[in-house]
Structure 1
Amino acid sequence: MLLIMIAGGLRSNVRIRTRPWTTTQRTDWWERVVMTEFQPSDWLDKFRMSRETFFYLCDKLRPRLARQDTSFRLALPVEKRVAVALWRLASNIEYRTISTLFGVGKSTVCRCVRDMCHAIVALLSSIYLRPPNEQEMEDSAQLFLSHWGFPHCVGAIATLHTAIISPSNNASDYANPAGWLSVMSQVAVSGRGHFWDVCASFPGGTDPADILQNSSLWATAAEGGLSPASPLVFMGKSLRYVLLGESCYPLQSWLLKAYPEEKGRRSSRAALSNAQQLFNRQLDRALRVSEEALLRLRARWQCLSKRNDCGLDVVPTMILACCILHNMCESHGDAFKAEWQGEVAEAESPQPRHKPLLSTGMDQSNSEEVRRLFCDYFEQQSN
Structure 2
Amino acid sequence: MTMDPSFLLMLSNLLHLHNHLDPTSSLLSDSHGPSTTAGISPTATLSSTSAAPLLFFTIASVLSYAASLRSSSSAANDQNKNSNSNDPTDYSVSAFRALSTEHIWTMEAPVRDAQWRSSYGLSYPVFTTVVDKLKPYIAQSNLSLPTDYAVAMVLSRLAHGYSAKTIASRYSLDPYLVSKITNTVTRLLATKLYPEFIKIPVSRRRLHETTQAFEELTSLPNMCGAIDGSPVKLHRLPPDQELLNHPSAYRCRYGFPAVLLQVVADHKKIFWDVCVKAPGGTDDATHFRDSLLYNRLTSADIIWDKVINVRGHHVRPYIVGDWCYPLLSFLLTPFSWNGTGTPAQISFDAALMRGRSVVVDAIGLLKGRWRILQDLNVGLNHAPQTIVACCVLHNLCQIAREPEPPIWKEPEETGPPARALENEKSFYYFGESLRQAMADDLHQRLPSR
Q: TM-score normalized by structure 1? A: 0.81
Q: Alignment length, in residue pairs?
A: 338
Match for 1:186: what amino acid?
Q
Distance 1:235 1:68 in 2: 57
SS of the equivalent of 2:275 reads: strand
User: Contact 1:175–1:204 at 8 Å: present in 2 too?
Assistant: yes
SS of the equivalent of 1:202 reads: strand
Provide, for residues 214-246 of structure 1, a one-character-per-residue CA deviation record: whole Å limited to 9, x for no partner.
Answer: 222112222445553463333443221111012
In the other structure, the counterpart of 1:334 is 402
In structure 2, relative to structure 1, the CA distance for the partners of 1:152 and 1:30 (3 Å cut) is closer
Deviation at 1:352?
A: 5.1
Distance 2:160 2:415 in 1: 28
Map residues 112-123 of structure 1 onto 2, 5 A cutoff: 112-123=181-192
Provide, for residues 140-165 of structure 1, a one-character-per-residue CA deviation record: whole Å limited to 9, x for no partner.
Answer: 10111123433210011100110011
Match for 1:369: what amino acid?
S
In the other structure, the counterpart of 2:440 is 376
Q: Which residue, 157, 167, 173 being the options, matches 2:227?
A: 157
In the other structure, the counterpart of 1:53 is 126
In structure 2, relative to structure 1, the CA distance for the partners of 1:37 and 1:235 (3 Å cut) is farther
When structure 1 is superposed on structure 2, of 33-42 and 311-320 the one drifting more is: 33-42
Report percent identity of matched pairs.
25
Deviation at 1:85?
A: 0.3
Q: Which residue, 204, 218, 237 being the options, matches 1:166?
A: 237
Match for 1:147: what amino acid?
L
User: Contact 1:150–1:282 at 8 Å: present in 2 too?
Assistant: yes
In structure 2, relative to structure 1, the CA distance for the partners of 1:275 and 1:85 (3 Å cut) is same
Distance 1:35 1:356 in 2: 56
Distance 2:306 2:361 in 1: 32
Is 1:234 aligned with 2:299?
no
Q: Which residue, 280, 283, 287 being the options, matches 1:204?
A: 280
Is 1:274 aligned with 2:343?
yes
Distance 1:294 1:316 in 2: 16
SS of the equivalent of 1:313 reads: helix
In structure 2, relative to structure 1, the CA distance for the partners of 1:128 and 1:121 (3 Å cut) is same
Is 1:183 aligned with 2:259?
yes
Is 1:315 aligned with 2:388?
no
User: Contact 1:155–1:190 at 8 Å: present in 2 too?
Assistant: yes
In the other structure, the counterpart of 1:355 is 416
Any runs of at least 4 consecutive aligned residues in structure 1 with deviations exceeding 6 A, and if so which? none
Deviation at 1:34?
A: 4.7
User: Contact 1:187–1:195 at 8 Å: present in 2 too?
Assistant: yes
Is 1:246 aligned with 2:353?
no
In structure 2, relative to structure 1, the CA distance for the partners of 1:351 and 1:281 (3 Å cut) is closer
Distance 2:272 2:169 in 1: 37
Q: Which residue, 179, 184, 188 being the options, matches 1:110?
A: 179
In the other structure, the counterpart of 2:74 is none
The gaps in structure 2 that reach 5 residues or longer are 1-92, 105-111
When structure 1 is superposed on structure 2, of 283-292 and 167-176 the one drifting more is: 167-176
In structure 2, relative to structure 1, the CA distance for the partners of 1:220 and 1:258 (3 Å cut) is same
User: Contact 1:149–1:286 at 8 Å: present in 2 too?
Assistant: no
Distance 1:32 1:197 in 2: 37
User: Contact 1:140–1:154 at 8 Å: present in 2 too?
Assistant: yes
SS of the equivalent of 1:314 reads: helix
Distance 1:335 1:35 in 2: 25
RMSD: 2.3
Distance 1:190 1:228 in 2: 15
Deviation at 1:102?
A: 4.5
User: Contact 1:160–1:351 at 8 Å: present in 2 too?
Assistant: no
Match for 2:382: what amino acid?
V
**Larger Cα-atom Rg:** 2
The gaps in structure 1 that reach 5 residues or longer are 1-26, 262-267
In the other structure, the counterpart of 1:147 is 217
Is 1:98 aligned with 2:167?
yes
When structure 1 is superposed on structure 2, of 169-178 and 286-295 the one drifting more is: 169-178
Greater relative contact order, per chain length (Cα 8 Å cut-off, separation 6+): 1
In structure 2, relative to structure 1, the CA distance for the partners of 1:354 and 1:37 (3 Å cut) is farther
Deviation at 1:167?
A: 3.7
Distance 2:156 2:103 in 1: 17
When structure 1 is superposed on structure 2, of 373-382 and 84-93 the one drifting more is: 373-382
Q: TM-score normalized by structure 2? A: 0.70
Distance 2:379 2:166 in 1: 19
In the other structure, the counterpart of 2:7 is none
Q: Give 1 or 2: higher helix fraction.
A: 2
When structure 1 is superposed on structure 2, of 133-142 and 324-333 the one drifting more is: 133-142
Distance 2:301 2:262 in 1: 18
Distance 1:323 1:197 in 2: 10
Distance 1:230 1:124 in 2: 28
User: Contact 1:67–1:75 at 8 Å: present in 2 too?
Assistant: no
